[in-house]
A and B are shown apart, each in its own frame.
Chain A
Amino acid sequence: MAQCAQSVQEFIQDSFVPMVSVLCSEDAERVTRKNNLSFPELLRPFCRLTSEGHLRDPNNQVVVVKGLRISVTGVNTRSPNSGEVRKLLSQAVSGCQPPEGLPANVITAGDYDLNISDRSVKASVPWYSDWKEMLTQLSSSKYYTATTPWFEAYRENFLQSMPASDHEFLNHYLACMLVVSSREAVPTEQFLKLSQEQHRIQHSGEYTYPKWFIPNTLKYYVLLHDISDGDEQRADSVYEDMKQRYGTQGCYLLKINSRTGAAGPDEQMPDPWSQYLQKTNIHSPYEEGVLNNVENNISSEVDGLDLSDVVSEIHPLKLEQSADPGFPGNPSKAVNSADTARTQKQGSVTPGAAPTAHGACLTLNDHDRIRQFIQEFTFRGLLPHIEKNIRQLNDQLVSRKGLSRSLFSATKKWFGGGKVPEKSIAELKNTAGLLYPPEAPELQIRKMADLCFLVQHYELAYSCYHTAKKDFLSDQAMLYAAGSLEMAAVSAFLQSGAPRPYPAHYMETAIQTYRDVCKNMVLAERCALLSAEVLKSQAKYSDAATLLIKMTSEDSDLRSALLLEQAAHCFINMRSPMVRKFAFHMILSGHRYSKAGQKRHALRCYCQAMQVYKGKGWTLAEDHINFTIGRQSFTLRQPENAVAAFRHILINDSKQTATQQSAFLREYLYVYKSLSQPSNEGSLPQLPLPCVHSAQTRVFFGHEPRLAEGEKQAATHVWLDQEFDQEQAQLWAELEEQVVAVANRGSVHISFQPTQYCLSSHTENLRYPFAVVEEPMFVEVVFRNPLKVPLVLSDLSLLWKFTTKDFSKPQGGTTGETITNEKEAAAGKATALNDIISTEVIPEFTVGLEETKVARLKLLPHKTGELHVLGIVYNLGTREEDNSASEASQLMFVRGRQDLEIQGPRLNVTKEEKTSVRHGPDRRLDPIITPPMPLLEVFFINFPTGLLCGEIRKAWVEFVNVSAVPLAGLRVASTHPEFFTFGSATADLTPVTPTAAEHCSAYKTMVTPPSDAAVTLVSPAAFGITGDNRPTVVEIPLTGGVLGPGEALQIPLWLRGPDREGVHEISFLFYYEGLEKNAKLGHRVLRHKAVICASRSLSVRATACRSNTLPGRGKRDEREEERSGSMLVFVDVENINTSEAGVREFHIVQVSSSSRQWRLHKCINPAGDKDSKLASRERGKLCFRATRCRTQEATSDALEKYTFADLNLGNEQIVSSTTPCADFFFRRGPPSEPRKGGVITVGGLLRRQSLTPANSTDDSMTSIVRKCSEVELDIIVLWKAYVVEDNKQLILEGQLHVALQTIGKEACSLSQKEEAQEMVLLKFKPDLPPPASRPSLEQLSHLIKTCLHYPESYDHPFPQKSLCMVPVTLTLSNCSLAQVDVIIDLRHKTTSPESLEVHGSFTWLGQTQYKLQLRPQEVHGLSLKACFFQAGVYNLGTPRVFAKLAQSGTMCETSQQSAMPALIIINSV
């Protein structure tokens, strides 16, 4: 609420005060002029009486007059015309701004805390005050009520400038002071002259103004004596003379100017005048004019009152001419009107004029004298005069009181007396209704009422007003009636004793009448102001608010603004504060203020309203307010606030339409431009748009990737286009660790960190990254445009700070000075420092509407040191849709910057970090520029994208050192080492060019007809295989170990299609280092990711069987071989290629074996030289015989060697023991068994732990048993595929590996372990071990190999001899390496019915059961005899063989596999 400094009573009393005019002689005026004051001005500060006055009312009751104030003005002080009033009022309002730096007034209303004071301008702007600040303000400030001094100033000025009107007498002159200087030659004459003058003014009828209260105005004669200048004796004598003439009560000798000469400057005198005289405006007209110009530019909406025009209009010179004819134009006019002229002048005083000191010649004694004078005048002169007049009027009225009211009016009708208002005369009828002649009795009552009111006799005044009101109403004199109503209400309110309820309806009627009937807004306004004040004092805020709101109208913006503001304050002051209404009316008020040209007030209003709207989701309203605040701030030259406000509109996800947003943006740019222009040389302003997602900033070190050049395909490496993938990053890091471990001979430094080329929010950015000098770095900045308007960024470049450092020197090198390109960038010369760091400038970068876009900005450092990327600098602009305004829009951009500040991840290690929110550093933008390092580029030539499974393809790889530093230690690590090989050391690296080698086979071949296997012995070490694990890191041989600057190396590369079909991602990590150790960067890596699509080719299944053939029939050496064991290997090959086009058929060209113990010996099934052809979905079966290697018992060195045996089916033998066949063999995936074990490590471990010593025998037995059935033979199937592609026939080659491990168990080239793995559950409980620890029955059944030797057919003459006896030898062969007990049971067990059916029965003769013990690998022949009774076909395979290991205590014998039917034909002869 607008709380006034004074109480309501005081305010109303002061609104209506006795008016005293002054007529001053020229000499007297001169005396006062010494003090820079006119006579009325001189008196003004002392016009309030401090002591009580007394007078008697007509009933002889003493009335106490307290705190009376009189108003002294020059006689011809004209009330300013409406234009001037407006100007005056607007000056008063604009001159009265909320004081700066007072404690904030916070009103708590509901859940809102409103800050209503000057600081609210700042505090309420949402981006300025955070909540915390608000709270501290709230707690630190006491409860203040808002004051609106501008409103009071307005009200005071308004009431003072009220023109005197005929219907009321309150501001008519009651008395006139005639002032004459004592220096006058004949003062009395002068008095006479002035007196006549006064009379002439009042009674000649020449002047309608000023108005006089009563015909015989009190004249008060004042002799003004200048002590410093005049003769005091003479003055006294003149005064004596005056006393004689006018009586002691009618004259006064006022002595002033007692100070002689110039006062000491150190002497401090109070200047009571300053606050009464017109204050000079806060802003000079000049400034205001400038502002207006600016404002006209920016907005067409805000025009309002152009003060510069007003100022020129009331130029002092003009004032003289435009003297109102209604005013006295007497000789003394120039002097007396100086009062007004002066106020005008002061209003338009130029800023250059020094403020004038008032009362320079007055001492404190003089002040007292003036005060004394006023008191004397009031109590001796004015009050008795008033008292007398009241009595007189009362007497007149009482004399008529006898007549009844009706009669009174009747006489009026009958006689048509002069007192009767001339209703019939049209010209006298004004808008207010009627005009009474001055002597009309109704007016007399009103006059008396006014007099009583002025001397604070409110009771009498009320009754008089009441009577007058009735009279006026009955006469339909509406203006008069309204005036009486108004005053009746006011006096009723002011009555202190028996309080009458305040008749609010009187006021309402009065206002309505004034406004609607009389069309007198000024009076209506006065009435409303009074009423509102009264209502407020009675806490009827809602009524007051309604009243005030009703008074707003189109005709005066200033008034409407002030009243709306007051209404708003009423709302907030209600018992349940209506905050939103407050805010709304503040906005209305702000709007009116701005229309009235009161920009500061407008801004204040909007800011206060903002407090309610901000952050509550009412975005449309919020945007509107922000926009207005922005505009107002701008016109008030607070561009920072303006920018902040506009920024707020733009940043928020605004729901405005696109056109609105573009308007906002344009305005913002305009404001910004004007803001940034003066501070061009300083630092650049921060721009709010587009939004930069700092955290998503990515940094990349290195060159932009090259596109493929013809057949050359560059390594993919790392680039910003690749999304970050945690798994991939992990994979690369592991690869790098592996290769580093290899490079450092097995050890990885503890502080090893994988090289990161691309830093993003996903990577760990705790350490300063390294960038290499003369190699570019890219910073990818993510922009988001929240607007529906496209934004155009031009001249976009990075801002950086750089400290040169020479790292080659010891101890970190010397630190140079820090250089930054901020200044250059600000000036638009971002490339100025290109000799240190080349900064790439993007000329134009458009971010579309609501788009998120990345910009890649390049820096190329030329010196070593520490670089810090600070931010980005750019011109922000927008593009117009229409090209017509292109000229203007092109200029519409501002240069600014945005900082890239990246907050690191939240720390969460220590307790402190957990309990508080702390963030680690993020140094991705602060790279260290290191000395030059080698830089490798890798190209692949003829690198395929699709391969058949197992296909072998030769490609070329080129290594280029593109740096100026030699490169060494080139290695490559891969996730799929089985996929490629560079060839073994033994292979001749004949530098065949890739083109020449196009049609050659990848294999090394020899023309040989199919025959027995060619055998080669190869050590795996030759292929770089050491130990069991596959090599993941391969060293690439460089000539001389170094790749010089600019040198290129081309070497062949063999690829083998992955065994499993599908798309394979194969990662290569090339590792290299510089010749000299760089402290910062030890090594560098290059990544490549190849994508290979593998399609199905052949499926190979192989089984090994123990051959049952008996030794002894072949040659000696064969026998030897037989003795050591032989196997049959069955290979099932199926063409499972599904691609309908392309592959025609597969040819099995060769089958090779590779093993340490076994080798393929002979091809059994496809005899001859025809290779087996497999069309689509065909299946072929191959059969081979395998034998143990002869060299098995040779040196231990040979044990490590692999025997490669080639069985070619065609004419060409592929030397499988060389590159690439052997390479791929050694790089093949590990056999499925160990890997399977690896998967269930948990179980395996536990199992091992649970193994007790008691079980050890069991275990060893198992191993023995297992070993006997173990076979370690790898089959390599080499094939050729005929493919038609683009009408060209191509021959593709490939190889498939099958690892045979157990006899009788089928192995497959496509291992099915996938499914098996998926099904494995992770078990945390140990499995019960028995099934594994005990050799399974199946395993045991392979311990002994049995073979029956007998003649195939046997002729026997049954008629001669009924019994036929056939010798049969049962050969038992111990396959195991342990002693085995064997039991042979010959008793017939015709368990299976079929055997009975098919074969007739025969019997074994002799011993039916044999017990034997076989030494390891012993072959034992057992002679048996079978006895047949008749001719037929018999199955001899009935003997059952049980075997058990000799050591095992328990009899765990098992029946060996029942041999296949051994049929014998017994012929009867």
Chain B
Amino acid sequence: MAVCVAVIAKENYPLYIRSVPSQSELKFHYTVHTSLDVVEEKISTAGKAMAEQRELYLGLLYPTEDYKVYGYVTNSKVKFVIVVDSSNTSLRDNEIRSMFRKLHNSFTDVMCNPFYNPGDPIQSRAFDSMVSAMMVQSS
């Protein structure tokens, strides 16, 4: 489904980025990094209105020619970004949501690991396999 999945720390540095190997990794890095602007914008506009009830799922951040970028922010301001191929029209908003939820759950597991030092790049194998499961489905 996804062509790129990224987890970005509160301070906006990447904790985890994985993309399908066929495409240029650099491009996705740029895309994800740029999307943070939109995430921040969305947080700042939504955050004032209803800080508590804010939905974690941010929806489509912006479409580019080839990709759609979706965002998700946890309460601790960790951002998840999923990039999806634009040609994949069958993908519903609900599915994206569930992908994010899965990602969030897995991320929570990673954080619960007492040997994981918060702020370090994620190297969990479980997380990795979960992400690749998300990506494998697309191909």
Contact = CB atoms under 8 A, between A and B. Distances in A.
Interface of A: 110, 571, 576, 578-581, 583-584, 587, 613, 616-618, 620-621, 624
Given A584-B34, A587-B30, 18 more contacts: A571-B37, A576-B41, A579-B37, A580-B35, A580-B36, A581-B37, A583-B33, A583-B34, A584-B33, A613-B33, A617-B13, A617-B14, A618-B33, A620-B29, A621-B26, A621-B29, A621-B30, A621-B33
B40 interface: yes
Contacts of A580: 33-37
B44 interface: yes
Nearest to B14: A617
Q: Dominant SS at the B interface?
A: helix
Contacts of B38: 578
Contacts, number: 40
B93 interface: no
A620 B30 CA distance: 9
Contacts of B25: 620
Given A620-B25, A621-B30, A578 B37 contact: yes
A976 to B, nearest CB: 45
B138 to A, nearest CB: 22
B31 to A, nearest CB: 8
Contacts of A624: 26
A158 to B, nearest CB: 26
Given A617-B13, A617-B14, A110 B29 contact: no
Contacts of A583: 33-34
B123 interface: no
A576 B34 contact: no
B75 interface: no
Contacts of A581: 34, 37
A1005 B117 CA distance: 73
A110 B25 CA distance: 27
Contacts of B13: 616-618
Nearest to A576: B41
Contacts of B44: 576
Given A576-B41, A576-B44, A581-B37, A620 B26 contact: yes
B98 interface: no
17 contacts: A110-B40, A576-B40, A576-B41, A580-B36, A581-B34, A581-B37, A583-B33, A587-B30, A613-B33, A618-B14, A618-B33, A620-B25, A620-B29, A621-B26, A621-B29, A621-B30, A624-B26
A587 B33 CA distance: 13
B68 to A, nearest CB: 17
B49 to A, nearest CB: 15
A618 B29 contact: yes
Given A576-B40, A576-B41, A576-B44, A584 B14 contact: no
A236 to B, nearest CB: 70
A1075 to B, nearest CB: 63
A613 to B, nearest CB: 7
A428 B33 CA distance: 51
Nearest to A612: B33
Contacts of A584: 30, 33-34
A578 B29 CA distance: 17
Contacts of A110: 40
Main secondary structure of the interface of A (DSSP, over half): helix
Most buried by B among A576, A579, A620: A620
Q: Most chain-B Cβ atoms within 10 A of its Cβ — which of A578, A587, A617, A624?
A: A617
Interface of B: 9, 12-14, 25-26, 29-30, 33-38, 40-41, 44
Nearest to A587: B30
A627 to B, nearest CB: 10
Contacts of B9: 617
A363 to B, nearest CB: 58
Q: Which 5 A-B pairs have the closest CB atoms?
A: A617-B13, A578-B37, A584-B34, A580-B37, A620-B29
A261 B54 CA distance: 82
Residue with the highest number of chain A CB atoms closer than 10 Å, among B13, B14, B25, B37: B37
Nearest to A588: B30
Contacts of B30: 584, 587, 621
A580 B38 CA distance: 9
Nearest to A571: B37
B14 A578 contact: no
A217 B133 CA distance: 76
B55 to A, nearest CB: 20
Contacts of B35: 580
Contacts of A613: 33
A605 to B, nearest CB: 14
A584 B37 CA distance: 11
A578 B41 contact: yes
B56 to A, nearest CB: 20
A617 B36 CA distance: 14
Nearest to B44: A576
Contacts of A621: 26, 29-30, 33
Contacts of A620: 25-26, 29
Nearest to B28: A620
A573 to B, nearest CB: 13
Contacts of A576: 40-41, 44
B40 to A, nearest CB: 7
Contacts of A578: 37-38, 41
B36 to A, nearest CB: 5
A500 B41 CA distance: 31
Nearest to A575: B41
A1237 B94 CA distance: 81
Nearest to B17: A620
Contacts of B33: 580, 583-584, 613, 618, 621
B67 to A, nearest CB: 14
B114 to A, nearest CB: 24
A571 B9 CA distance: 23
A624 B30 CA distance: 10
A616 B29 contact: no
B34 to A, nearest CB: 4
Given A110-B40, A576-B41, A616 B12 contact: yes
A228 B41 CA distance: 69
A713 B14 CA distance: 59
A624 B29 CA distance: 11
A624 B25 CA distance: 11
A889 to B, nearest CB: 27
A667 to B, nearest CB: 17
A111 B137 CA distance: 38
A580 B29 CA distance: 12
Contacts of A618: 13-14, 29, 33
A577 to B, nearest CB: 8
Nearest to A620: B29
A617 B9 CA distance: 10
A279 to B, nearest CB: 36
A110 B41 CA distance: 11
A14 to B, nearest CB: 34
Nearest to B13: A617
A731 B30 CA distance: 59
A620 B4 CA distance: 15
